[in-house]
């Protein structure tokens, strides 16, 4: 899937005028849902559900991700000091599952709602390669609700239960829309920051964020600094039960592009929320913040008491004017 330059750049600019953006298989019996917008254009998403065995194989095929995990990544995921990649790969194999028919139905419905809303509002989406949905306990990613690699979307039990047990379909549909955003914005790389070892070793890898390829201007201690946002930790993993996502350990930091040896906590940036907006608390990376706003726009609509309405309005305008 090749994403058009215009779509990605404009989406990134929706957060802030200063924010700069810098494998799928073709299976048999794939599910295809098509919604015709008009005679000249149609939105469609082709997808299928992977078996447990296929899910394990697909996950382990993402070598660029797994082979570049640092020791912090491994320790927090395996839940032991000095964990190895082989131990994490064993967890991956053991934690995949098959979807139930009820779970498949919930996903089918979410895709249908997503496309119908886009069609009803005359949105145009970039073309996607086939999406593969896989089911896992997500233990391999510290029990995150859902995550992606390429055009692969992996869902865990907490997310699936939203639709199959709690019947909160709008929330589940929002999650699917969020994960689809990552698939839309992949595979277009302008540049990528390479951090020195002392910083790189502290960064927690996020499968939804394949590259650190954006930066923004933040006001830190009275000075304007161009910074890239990173997900880091305040300490190294020490004992079982520690989660990098916990409040006392997680550190969302700002690294100046002219001083890649320094991390400032986002609390030191007086204009952080002016840049990122306040529609979501998911602010660990511009990609994640945009994914939330994108899905809010499509699933919840324009009138939902957003704190930063301009972002939603701009996404609405872009999706109506976008020309694939």
Q: Is 281 helix (H, G, I), strand (E, B) or coil?
A: coil
Q: Encoding tokens for residue 187?
A: 């595979």
> Cα(48)–Cα(27) distance, rounded to whole angstroms?
8
Q: Encoding tokens for residue 189?
A: 């790389």
Angle, helix 169-184 to helix 101-120, in steps of 10 degrees: 70
Digits of tens for pLDDT over the chain (324 positions)?
233 333 444 454 444 444 444 422 333 344 554 444 444 578 999 999 999 999 999 999 999 999 999 999 999 999 999 999 999 999 999 999 999 999 999 999 999 999 999 999 999 998 888 999 999 999 999 999 999 999 999 999 999 999 999 889 999 999 999 999 999 988 444 445 677 788 888 899 999 998 887 889 999 999 999 999 999 999 999 999 999 999 899 999 999 999 999 999 999 999 999 999 999 999 999 999 999 999 999 999 999 999 999 999 999 999 999 887
Whole-structure pTM value: 0.88
Please list the helix, strand and coil fractions of the chain in percent, rounded to the nearest 5, in that order: 40, 20, 40
Best CA proximity match to 43, nearest among 94, 92, 112:
112
């Amino acid at each position: 899937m090749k994403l058009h330059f215009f779509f990605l750049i404009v989406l990134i600019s929706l957060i802030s005028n200063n924010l700069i953006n810098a494998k799928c298989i073709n299976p048999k019996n794939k599910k295809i849902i098509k919604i015709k917008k008009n005679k000249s254009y149609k939105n469609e998403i082709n997808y299928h559900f992977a078996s447990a065995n296929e899910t394990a194989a697909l996950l382990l095929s993402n070598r660029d991700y797994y082979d570049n995990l640092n020791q912090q990544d491994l320790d927090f995921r395996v839940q032991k000091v000095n964990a190895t990649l082989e131990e994490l790969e064993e967890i991956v194999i053991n934690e995949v599952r098959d979807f139930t028919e009820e779970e498949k139905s919930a996903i089918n419905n979410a895709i249908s709602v997503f496309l119908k809303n886009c069609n009803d509002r005359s949105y145009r989406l970039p073309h996607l390669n086939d999406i593969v949905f896989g089911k896992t306990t997500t233990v391999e990613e510290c029990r995150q609700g859902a995550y992606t690699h390429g055009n692969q979307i992996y869902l865990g039990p907490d997310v699936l239960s939203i639709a199959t047990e709690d019947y909160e379909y709008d929330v589940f549909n929002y999650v699917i829309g969020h994960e689809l955003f990552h698939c839309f914005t992949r595979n277009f790389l302008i540049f990528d920051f390479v951090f020195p070892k002392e910083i790189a070793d502290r960064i927690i890898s996020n499968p939804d964020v394949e590259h650190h390829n954006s930066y923004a201007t933040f006001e830190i201690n009275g000075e304007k600094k161009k910074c890239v946002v990173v997900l880091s930790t305040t300490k190294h993993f020490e004992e079982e039960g520690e989660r990098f996502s916990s409040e006392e350990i997680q550190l969302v930091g700002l690294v100046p592009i002219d001083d890649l040896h320094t991390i400032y906590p986002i609390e030191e940036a007086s204009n952080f929320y002016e840049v990122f907006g306040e529609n979501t608390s998911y602010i660990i990376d511009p990609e994640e913040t945009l994914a939330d706003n994108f899905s809010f726009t499509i699933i919840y609509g324009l009138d939902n008491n957003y704190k930063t309405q301009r972002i939603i309005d701009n996404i609405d305008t872009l999706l109506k004017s976008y020309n694939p």
